[in-house]
Chains A and B, each alone.
Chain A
Amino acid sequence: MIYLELIYVFFKIGVFGFGGGYAMISLIQFEVVDHFHWMTMQEFADILAISQITPGPISINTATYVGFNTAGILGATVATLALCLPSVVLMLFVIRFLFANIENRYVQYVFSGLRPAIVGLIFAAALLLMNTENFPDAGIGKNNFSIVICAATFIASYFYKVNPVLLIVLAGACGFLISS
């Protein structure tokens, strides 16, 4: 049953999605692309781009998009709500019982392990996106135009903090002008 699968996957992503949007990319990628084959790595890159240029969180956007493509509006609703459900439950629990102890020693310990692991997960997500679908012209003897865009974006974003929306628009314009 597709609805149950959607609920299961996005509920799981909601439960284990520590560390915000970028950290959740690798979780979503693993389930949606690798495991259930609901979209290709290329489509996943496209939805990440669309998420960056439209308002709203990446995880909500992916849940809605995957749900819609696999099972229509109802699928989109089910997937999005399943993603948020763990937060609703946890939030009640946290506000009622844990709130006073949020700076608790054990919470600190958990995050001392999680924080570096999340950095690794984000790198893994980026590496998994570096495939021939997203870099079709990479290689010796080819024009490597995609590598140039990737490197230029990286420099502009990391060193000069250029707005990502602007970078995506520029990259799209370059793609339109140069690629065939």
Chain B
Amino acid sequence: MNIYFQLFKTFFEIGAFTIGGGYAMLSMVERSVVQKKKWMTKDDFWDMIVVVQTIPGVFAVNTALYTGYRIKGMKGAICAALGAIIPSFVIICLVAMFFVEIRDNTIVERIFKGIRPCVVALILAPALQMVKSAKITLKTAVIPIGAVFLVWWCDVSPVYVIVASALGGVLIGAYSYYRISSK
């Protein structure tokens, strides 16, 4: 089988069968890319995760791009990325086509009345888990609280919050490094 097609197919399967987004698909990528296809070693895989988490964008697409690029350069990257994108693209186009029509149906409306508050909780839960994993202390708590206040209350674009917090991180980091090294 052509290597481009293999890349496409592997990520198509990952894209079609992982429900629950980025991190849910990690183990599936590991299984097919490291164990089955042997496209990279386990160490390479974890290096990739570091890179993929560092750059912005869609986690699944970044993983596909990275793997494809490692194996077959730019063309490989594009084939793998298209494989990752196409399943959800097709599914959502179908949903968009029919959902608009059935949305006002009373049964669907009743079902979604139950689902909407559920979704809100499904966003709150990981946010609270991240409070632990991001090692937020009393001192650094001002950053997430400030972000909530600006975006929720003051309608500030999250883009500004992201840029400001990245800059702030660099300034504070560089300053404390300078202070330690000048002692």
Contact = CB atoms under 8 A, between A and B. Distances in A.
Interface of A: 12, 14-18, 20-22, 25-27, 30, 34-35, 42, 45-46, 48-61, 64-65, 68-69, 73, 76-77, 80, 83-84, 86-88, 90-92, 94-95, 99, 102-103, 105-130, 133-136, 146-147, 149-154, 157-158, 164-165, 167-168, 170-176, 178-180
Contacts of B65: 87-88, 91
Contact of B115 (A113, A136, A172): A172
A134 B15 CA distance: 29
Interface in B47-82: 50-51, 53-62, 65-66, 69-70, 74, 77-78, 81
Which one of B22, B91, B119, B121 has the greatest number of beta carbons of chain A within 10 Å?
A: B119
Given A121-B147, A136-B113, A69 B158 contact: no
The 7 closest A-B pairs by CB, nearest first: A175-B114, A113-B169, A56-B88, A120-B147, A109-B173, A120-B144, A87-B57
5 contacts: A49-B115, A54-B88, A64-B93, A91-B55, A149-B118
Contacts of B116: 42, 45-46, 49, 129, 133-135, 146
B32 to A, nearest CB: 15
Contacts of A77: 89
Given A57-B22, A76-B96, A116 B151 contact: no
Contact of A14 (B56, B113, B120, B136): B56
Given A18-B162, A109-B172, A121-B158, A50 B148 contact: no
Binding site of B, secondary structure by majority: helix, strand, loop or mixed?
helix
Given A27-B159, A168-B115, A116 B165 contact: yes
A149 B56 contact: no
Interface in B145-181: 145-148, 151-152, 155, 157-159, 161-170, 172-174, 177
Interface in B17-34: 17-23
Contacts of B2: none
